[in-house]
Amino acid sequence: MDTRPIGIFDSGVGGLTVADKVFRLLPNENIIYFGDTARVPYGNKSKEAVTRFSKEIVKFLSGFKVKLIIVACNTASSLSLEALKKEFSIPIIGVIKPGVEEALKTSKTGRIGVIGTERTISSNVYKKEIESTGRNSFIIQESCPLFVPLVENGWLSGDITLEIVRRNLAPLLARDIDTLILGCTHYPLLKKAIQRIAGKNVALIDSSIATAKYTKRLLDNKNLFADALAKAGKRGMGYAKFFVSDDTGNFIRLANIFLRRNIKAKKVVF
Amino acid sequence: MDTRPIGIFDSGVGGLTVADKVFRLLPNENIIYFGDTARVPYGNKSKEAVTRFSKEIVKFLSGFKVKLIIVACNTASSLSLEALKKEFSIPIIGVIKPGVEEALKTSKTGRIGVIGTERTISSNVYKKEIESTGRNSFIIQESCPLFVPLVENGWLSGDITLEIVRRNLAPLLARDIDTLILGCTHYPLLKKAIQRIAGKNVALIDSSIATAKYTKRLLDNKNLFADALAKAGKRGMGYAKFFVSDDTGNFIRLANIFLRRNIKAKKVVF
Please tell me whether residue A73 adopts helix, strand or coil conformation. coil
Between helices A159-173 and B159-173, what is the axis angle to 10°? 170
**What is the C-alpha to C-alpha distance for residues B140 and A137, in angstroms, rounded to an integer?**
54
Share of chain B above pLDDT 90, in %: 86
Burial of A104 (0-12, 13-18, 19+ CB in 10 A): middle
Q: Which residue has the higher pLDDT, B260 or B25?
A: B25
- The model's pLDDT over B35-68, given as tens digits with 9 standing for 90+, comes to 999 999 999 899 999 999 999 999 999 999 999 9
Return the closest-CA partner of residue B120 out of B246, B14, B243.
B14
Contact criterion met (CB < 8 Å) for B145 and A146: no
pLDDT-based confidence at B238, cuts 50/70/90? Answer: confident
pLDDT-based confidence at B169, cuts 50/70/90? Answer: very high
pLDDT-based confidence at B229, cuts 50/70/90? Answer: low
Model pLDDT, residue B92: 98
Contact criterion met (CB < 8 Å) for A163 and B164: no
pLDDT at A228 over 80: no
| ipTM for the assembly | 0.88
- The model's pLDDT over B97-120, given as tens digits with 9 standing for 90+, comes to 999 999 999 999 999 999 999 999
Interface of A with B in 220-249 (CB under 8 A): 245-247
Contact criterion met (CB < 8 Å) for A48 and B160: no
pLDDT at A229 over 80: no
**In Å, how far is B64's CA from the nearest CA of chain A?**
24
- The residues of B assigned a catalytic role are 73, 184
Model pLDDT, residue A57: 98
**B37 touching A (Cβ < 8 Å):** yes
Runs of H (alpha helix) within chain B:
16-25, 47-62, 74-87, 96-106, 118-123, 125-132, 147-152, 159-173, 191-198, 207-221, 228-232, 248-259
Interface of A with B in 132-151 (CB under 8 A): 145-146, 148-150
Contact criterion met (CB < 8 Å) for B49 and A153: no
Contact criterion met (CB < 8 Å) for A44 and B160: no
Nearest to B38 among A49, A149, A247 (CB): A49
Degrees, nearest 5: CA angle A7-A40-A33: 15
**What is the C-alpha to C-alpha distance for residues A66 and A69, in angstroms, rounded to an integer?**
7
Cα dihedral A82, A87, A88, A93 in deg (nearest 10):
-10
Instruction: Flag whether the pTM goes above 0.90.
Output: yes
Nearest to A246 among B46, B164, B269 (CB): B46
Interface of B with A in 41-70 (CB under 8 A): 44-46, 48-49, 52
pLDDT-based confidence at B208, cuts 50/70/90? Answer: very high
Nearest to A38 among B39, B153, B246 (CB): B39
Residue type, A180: L
Find the helix or strand (DSSP H, E) in which A20 lies. helix A16-25
What domains lie within chain A, and their CATH numbers? 6-94+209-267 (3.40.50.1860), 96-207 (3.40.50.1860)
